[in-house]
Structure 1
Amino acid sequence: MDRVSNLPDEVLSHILSFLTTKEAALTSILAKRWRNLLAFVPSLTIDDSVFLHPEEGKQDREEVKQSFMDFVDRVLALQGNSPLKKFSLKCVTVDDTDRVDGWVSNALARGAVSDLDLKIIIPSDIGEFYKLSPKCFECNTLVSLKIHRGIDISLVAGRILLPLLKTLVLDSVPVCPNEFEILLHALPSLEELLLDCVMWKGMEDVTVSSSSLKTLTMTLDYTLKSLSFDAPSLLHFKYSGYAALDYPVVNMGNLVDAQIDFFLSDSQLKQLREPDNDEDAHRYSKVWKLFHGTRYVGNLSLLPDTLEVLSMCSESMPVFNNLKSLTIRSDEDRGWQAMPALLSNCPHLETLVIKISVGMFVTASLGRTKDFHSNFVR
C-alpha cells in the first residue's frame, strides 16, 4: 500500500476537499479504501461547467443535464448528514429549480456550513432570476456568503439570522436598496463586503451602513442618484466605476487606505471639457463630499479619470491631514488640473508615487515630500 493510502480517513478527506467534487469522486476508482471517502469530505465544489466539459453542444443535451443532476443527488445522498463546512454550487444549465432548492437546503440542514458560494443561472423561459431560498439568510453557522450572477435575493424583513457572517459578496445580482439596508443591519459580525456591479432596483438612493465593516469593495457600472457610506470602523475602501450624483453621508473616520477609480467614457470626457458646459460640470459638483468623508485616510490611490472628476470640484477639496502616501496614475489624454489643489491640501504627505504612460513628461516640486517615485506604465 502506498504512503498516501496509509493516511487516516480524516486526513484523506481533508485532502480531497481541495479538489472539485467531480475530481474527488473520481478517486473512488483508485482502490477499495477510496470508495467511500467522498462521504466524509467537508467541502463540496459542484460546478456544471467542470462536469459537462466545454464541448460544442454538450451542455444542451438533456441526457447530459440529467446525468449532472443525478450525480449531485448521489453525492448528497452518499454524504447523508456528515458535517459540511463549505458548499459551492455553480450551475448554468439546470432548469429544475426545485432540485436546486433541495441541494442548497440539504447543505444548510447539516448545521455546520460556514462557507456558502452560489451561482445559479436558469433558462430564460423559466424566469429571469433564480429565487434564492430565505433559508440562506437563516443560518447560525455561516461565516462567508457569496452570491453571484443569476440569483435574486429578495428578502423578508425579520427573517435574517446570520450572527457569525463576516464576509458577504454580491456579484451582479438585483438588490432592493431598502432590503439591503435591512440585511446589513442584521449582520452584527460583518467585516468584509464586496458589491460588484450590483443591479440596484430603482437606481435611486443606496446606503451602505454597518458599524462593524472593515473592508469595502464596490464597483458601479451605472450612475446612482445618491450613494451614502456610514461605516465608522472601515479600514480599507476600494471604489471603481461611475460617480454618483450625490454623496449625502460619508462616514469613514478610521480609514487606513483607499483607492478611488471613477470611470469616464471618451464622450463623457469630451463633454466635460467643453467650455460653459454647466450641466456636466454640475453632474460632478458633489463628488467632493466623498473625498471629504475620506479625508482621514492614511494611504490614497487615485486613477486617471478620478483626477478629471476632481478638477470639477477643486475649490471644495478637503485637507488630508493624515495622508502619508499618495499614489497617482494617469495617462496622456487625462488632465492633471486637480493636482495643485490636491497636493497643497496634503500637509503631512511623505510619499508620492506617480505612475504615468510612456511619453508623458512630469515636472514636480515637492519640498516637503520625503519620497518621490515615478513609474512608467505601458
Structure 2
Amino acid sequence: MAAGDRISALPNDVLQHVLSFAPAREAAATAILSRRWRSVWRRTGAIILDSKPYKHAQREIGYYSPAFDTFFRDAHAALAAFRRPRGGSGLKRLTLALEEGTYHLSRSSWYNKDPEPEKDSRVHDLLDDPAVARLEELIVSCENSYHRRYAPPLHSLPCAATLRVLELTRCNLEQPSHQGGGAMSFPHLTDLTMRNCYFLEGCLQATIDAAPALANLALANVHQRAPEPAGSTKKDFYMLPFRVRSPTVTSLAVTQTYVEDEKELEASSSNGGRIELDMPSLRFFRYYGFRIKLALTSPTPGLARVDLNVTASRQRVRWDLKYEPPSRILANFSSTRALKLRLGYIEDLIAADEVPLTAFPNLKLLELDAKYQYMNGNTAVAMATLLRSCPAMSELRLRLNMRWDYDHERKYENHVGGSFGEAMDRFESLGSMSSAHRDAVQIGGVSELPDAFTNNGAFSCLQRSLRKVTLQFKAKEANCFQVQLAKFLVENAMVLEEMHVDDGIRFWPDRLFHKLARWRADAFCKRNLQLPDTATGFQVYQLPSTVVDPEQERSLYYSFD
C-alpha cells in the first residue's frame, strides 16, 4: 500500500459503502488499485449506471448516438458481475441516469413537429437483466427534456415483487396498454418518490393502489396530462387537480413550485383545481409551493406534524389569480400536534375576513417564519389571532423580520450614521448616567402592543401551557414589533420557563437579552402576582446569530422558484 493511500486501510464494509455511490465504470476501475479491491465493488449491492459520460461532445442531428452502444455494453457487463456475487448478497440498489438518446431513437431533428420519436427498448432490457430480478431500490433519473421522457415499464418489472424503494425523476407514467404489461403489483414497496413526472389521469392512483404497504410518498412538481383531443398531436399538462388515496401512507411530501405557463399556474390557484388527499393514516405532511386548495377528505386522527411553506412565487404572471387564503389551507390540519408554518407575510393570516383561522386544540409546538409590514395595524391582530388559535401550545418558535420599507429606510438615512449612529449615541449617553438611571432607561422605551392585540379576551396558552419561546429576528430599532411582542410574552405567560432570543443587535445597551427577566419580574410585582412554582426559575438564553438580513432576502423575493 502506498504511503499516502489511506483509503485502502479502511475495512471492507466501509469500502463497499463508499463504492456504492460511485458510477459503475469508476467503481469497476478500482480493481486496478489492488487485488483486494477486485471483489469489493461487486459486494456493494449497489450500482450506478450513468449514461452522461458516454454522450458525444457534439450532439448529432438525431437522438441516436453510437456512443450509447458502448454505454449499454458496459452496463450489461457491470450487471453480469452481480449475477455471481461471490459471497455478496447480490444487487439491491440500481440507479439509472439516462440521457434522452438512451431511450429515444429518431432520424428527425429536434425542431421537427413529428408527434413522437422512435423508442429505444434497450433501457427496458437492462431492467430485465437477471441481476436486477431481486432489486430492493430502483432510482431512475432522466435528462431534463420537456415532454419526451422515459416511461419505465412499471407493469412488467421483474423486480416488482422485491422492490421497497422507487424513485422516478422526469419520467412519464403510461397506461399498461402502452407498455404491453399486466396489472402493477408492488407488494413490498414502502417508499415512492416522483419528481417532475408526467402522468395521465388515473396513472398515479393506479401506482399507489399497487403498493399495499406504501408508507412514505413524495410528489415534487408532478404534472397531470390532459387527454389528447381526437386528431390532435398537442399535449396539455397541468399541475392540478389531482386526487391521491391511500389507507397506508403515513408520510406525504408535496412540492408545487414549477409552472410552464399561465394556464398551468391558473390551474394551481383557486380559479382552478385542487389537491384532494384521502389518507386516514397520515402522521406527517409537508407542502411547499403556491397557495393552492388543499383538502383532506377523511379524518386524520394520528396527524402529528404539518410543515407548510406557501411562499412560492413567480414573476410576470397575471395579478388577478386568486390564491387560496392561508387560513383556509390551515383549516385542514386542525388536529395536528406540531405545525411549522412559513408565510410571505404574517398579515396574510387575516387577509380573508370571511375565512377565520381555525383552532388547533391539540397543538403543542408552533413554528412560524414570516415577514411583517412596517406600521401595519394587522400585524398585531394576526399574531394575536394565531396565539388564540393554539390554546394548548407549550412551545413557540418565531422568526420574524420586517419587510423592507422605503419610509423606514429614509427615517434612518436622515439620522447621521443610520442605526449604527443611533446605537453609538445611546451608548455615549448611557455612559454618563448613574447606575440606577441607566437601568431605567435601558428597561424603558418599549411601547405596549396595540389594543387590537389584547382585545377579544385572554390567551389560554399564556395562562396555562406556554413554557418555551424562541424568537429570532434582526432588530431595526429598539422599539420594533418583535421587541414589543417579547415584552408582552414575558409579562403575561404565566408558566413560561425559558426564552431563547437573537435580536441581531451588536451593541450591548440595546440587547433584548438583558431586559427580559427584568420586565417579567417588574410586571408580576406591579400586579401583585405570585410566580407559579414551575416559572420561578425563568431563564433567558442567547442564541447564536443565524438570522438572515432581510435586506439580503429582499433581492430574492421576486425571483423564480
**Same-fold call, TM cutoff 0.5:** yes
Are residues 226 and 137 of structure 1, via their aligned partners in 2, closer, same or farther at CA, if it must alter by over 3 Å?
farther
Structure 2 distance, partners of 1:140, 1:26, is 32
Preserved CA contact (<8 Å) 1:260 1:306 = no
Alignment correspondent of 1:86 = 93
Match of 2:165 in 1: 144
Rounded Cα–Cα distance in structure 2 between residues aligned with 1:72 and 1:331: 51
1:361 matched residue in structure 2 = 481
Q: Is the 8 A contact 1:353 1:374 kept in 2?
A: no
Aligned residue pairs total 361
Asked whether 1:252 is paired with 2:423, we answer no
Instruction: Tell whether the 8 Å contact from 2:132 to 2:159 is kept in structure 1 after alignment.
Output: no
- Aligned residues with identical type, % of pairs: 22
2:134 pairs, out of 104, 108, 112, with: 112
Q: Which amino acid aligns with 2:82?
A: Q
Larger mean CA deviation between 28-37 and 322-331 belongs to: 28-37
> Does structure 1 conserve the Cα–Cα contact (< 8 Å) formed by 2:345 and 2:370?
no
Instruction: Kindly provide the amino acid, as one letter, of the partner of residue 201 in structure 1.
Output: R
Equivalent position amino acid for 2:343 in 1: P
Residue 454 of structure 2 is matched in structure 1 by: none
State yes or no: 1:377 paired with 2:542: no
Distance 1:354 1:40, change over 3 A: closer
Equivalent position of 1:187 in the other structure: 211
CA distance in 2, matches of 1:321, 1:234: 18
Which of 8, 17, 22 pairs up with 2:20? 17
Per-residue deviation, 1:34: 4.0
What TM-score comes out, normalization by structure 2 length?
0.56
Contact 2:346-2:371 within 8 A present in 1 as well? no
Partner amino acid for 1:343?
A: L
Aligned counterpart, 1:339:
383
1:62-141 correspondence to structure 2 within 5 Å:
62=65, 64-80=67-83, 82=85, 83-92=90-99, 94-96=101-103, 97-106=120-129, 110-121=132-143, 128-133=148-153, 134-136=155-157, 139-141=160-162
Q: Is the 8 A contact 1:226 1:248 kept in 2?
A: no
Alpha-carbon shift at residue 31 of structure 1 (Å): 3.6
- Any gaps of 5 or more consecutive residues in structure 2? 104-119, 227-237, 258-264, 402-473, 503-546, 550-561
1:209 and 2:212 correspond: no
Q: Give the drift of 1:81.
A: 6.0
Superimposed CA distance per residue, residues 157-204 of structure 1 (whole angstroms, 9 cap, x where no aligned partner): 971211111110000000234222222223221111111111122434
What is the DSSP-based 3-state SS (H/G/I as helix, E as strand, rest coil) of the residue aligned with 1:247?
strand
How far has the Cα of 1:320 moved from its partner? Answer: 0.3
Query: What letter corresponds to residue 297 of structure 2 in structure 1?
Result: V
**Alpha-carbon deviation of 1:212?**
1.4
SS at 1:25 equivalent = helix
Distance 1:44 1:265 in 2: 38
When normalised by structure 1's length, the TM-score is 0.80
Superposition deviation, residue 76 in structure 1: 2.0
Counterpart residue type for residue 58 of structure 1 = A
Structure with the higher strand share, 1 or 2: 1
What is the rounded CA distance, in whole Å, between the counterparts of 1:266 and 1:117 in structure 2? 30
1:275 maps to none
* Matching of residue 351 in structure 1 with residue 385 in structure 2: no
Contact persistence 1:138–1:159 (CA under 8 A)? no
Larger of the two Rg values belongs to structure: 2
Q: Which residue in 1 is equivalent to 2:183?
A: 159
CA deviation string 1:238-278 (max 9, x = no partner)? 1010122463726432211111111353879996xxxxxxx
Alpha carbons of 1:323 and 1:12: their partners in 2 closer, same or farther (altered >3 Å)? Answer: closer
Paired position in structure 1 for 2:287 = 239
5+ residue gaps, structure 1, are 272-278
Letter in 2 for 1:71: D
How has the CA–CA distance of structure 1 residues 246 and 211 changed in structure 2, closer, same or farther, with 3 Å as cutoff? closer
The answer (yes or no) to whether the contact 2:135–2:159 under 8 Å persists in 1 is: no
Q: Is the 8 A contact 1:284 1:309 kept in 2?
A: no
On the 8 A contact 1:91/1:121 being kept in 2, the answer is: yes
Cα contact 1:353–1:372 (8 A) shared by 2: no
